[in-house]
């Protein structure tokens, strides 16, 4: 049985077969114009930003834990307090600036140091 080339099923087959050979036009976006190297750089930057964000979260968690571990300074716990504050200074990279002859603190480091010390000294000792 021969098929009439004008029949709807034959027309549909011809159109379908011809459409398979032609690729649909690609949508153009700024990202579609990038080369593979540019795409790799973008992916690396996104990965690096995610890593930095994760590291910031970890560092802030470590800092918070270290701060919470430091008790308020009293006459009875000076040695423990001093050791924990030394640890905190190491975590914040403040120890070298405080202990070296030519060490100076940036404004940010100065604020960090004052915050740590004032939050952990009992107000009775300040008088």
Handedness of CA 18, 19, 23, 29 (dihedral sign): positive
More confident residue, 35 or 60: 60
Domain with 48 in it: 39-126
Total of domains in the chain: 1
Residue 33, domain member (yes or no) = no
pLDDT per position as a tens digit, 99-126? 888 888 888 888 888 888 888 876 654 5
pLDDT per position as a tens digit, 24-42? 555 555 555 556 666 666 6
Residue 115, domain member (yes or no) = yes
Rounded Cα distance between 63 and 92, Å, is 8
Confidence (pTM): 0.50
Rounded Cα distance between 100 and 78, Å, is 23
Q: Are the CB atoms for 67 and 78 separated by under 8 Å?
A: no
Rounded Cα distance between 88 and 63, Å, is 8
């Amino acid at each position: 049985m021969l098929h009439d080339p004008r029949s709807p099923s034959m027309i549909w087959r011809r159109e379908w077969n011809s459409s398979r050979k032609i690729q649909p036009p690609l949508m153009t976006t700024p990202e579609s114009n990038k080369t593979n190297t540019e795409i790799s750089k973008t992916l690396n930057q996104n990965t690096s930003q995610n890593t930095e964000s994760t590291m910031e979260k970890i560092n802030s968690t470590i800092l918070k834990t270290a701060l919470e571990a430091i008790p308020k300074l009293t006459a009875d716990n000076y040695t423990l307090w001093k050791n924990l504050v030394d640890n905190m200074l190491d975590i914040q990279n403040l120890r070298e600036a405080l202990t070296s002859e030519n060490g100076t603190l940036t404004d940010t480091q100065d604020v960090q140091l004052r915050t740590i010390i004032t939050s952990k000294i009992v107000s009775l000792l300040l008088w």
